[in-house]
Amino acid sequence: MNIRDKNIVLIGMPGCGKTSLGMLLAQMLGRKLTDIDLCIEEQAGCTISDIFQEGEEVFRNLETEAVLALEEEKALIIATGGGVVKRASNMESLKKNGIIVYIDRSIKDIAADIDIGKRPLLGNRSDRLMQLYSERHELYKKYSDFIVKNEGEIGETAKKIINILYGG
């Protein structure tokens, strides 16, 4: 399959820049952005935080449904939720027609940027961010085709991704 038909799938920690990078890449490459968390909220008719009130498993099931719905899509930019890597089946589905890019950003930079109160799995605890990182970092590396550091200006990070994928 031609690279221009493949989805570009962004994975990484909450607050690493998946959605912001996804919007920028969609604009730069003339592709549609699909944010899996937004798809889940639209499908459920409520917020991610509300869904987590019913339990993480309820959310993960909805996430898997949203991933499966994208399995046959082409040429999308897909911003995933940070925990999509927790189910191997999700990653198998995303890899079928996608190039997986791990957006690696330092925990210090993430903690400085995000409002942990709006992230259900962080539960208003900054130490939880480090715990999630230790649980997921190896999974992000395992499933990614490429790792891109998000260390500076977001436009530069987007250019790095484009250069890796298309050369130049």
Collapse the DSSP code of 76 into the 3-class scheme (helix H, G, I; strand E, B; otherwise coil) and give the result: strand
Where do we find the tokens 């799938």? 9
23, 33 in Cβ contact below 8 A?
Answer: yes
Confidence label for 45 from pLDDT (cuts 50, 70 and 90): very high
Where do we find the tokens 């969609």? 26
Buried b / exposed e along 4-24 (16+ C-beta atoms within 10 A): eebbbbbbbbbbbbbbbbbbb
From 7, 119, 21, select the one nearest 69 (Cα to Cα): 7
Q: What is the pTM of this model?
A: 0.92
Q: In the predicted model, what is the mean pLDDT of residues 45-58?
A: 92
Helix (H) or strand (E) holding 10: strand 7-11
pLDDT above 60: residue 107 = yes
* Pairing relationship of beta strands 32-35 and 7-11 according to DSSP bridges: unpaired
29-43, 47-61, 115-129: least confidently modelled range? 115-129
Structure confidence at residue 167 (pLDDT): 82
pLDDT in tens, 123-161: 545 577 888 899 999 999 999 999 999 998 999 999 999
pLDDT above 90: residue 122 = no
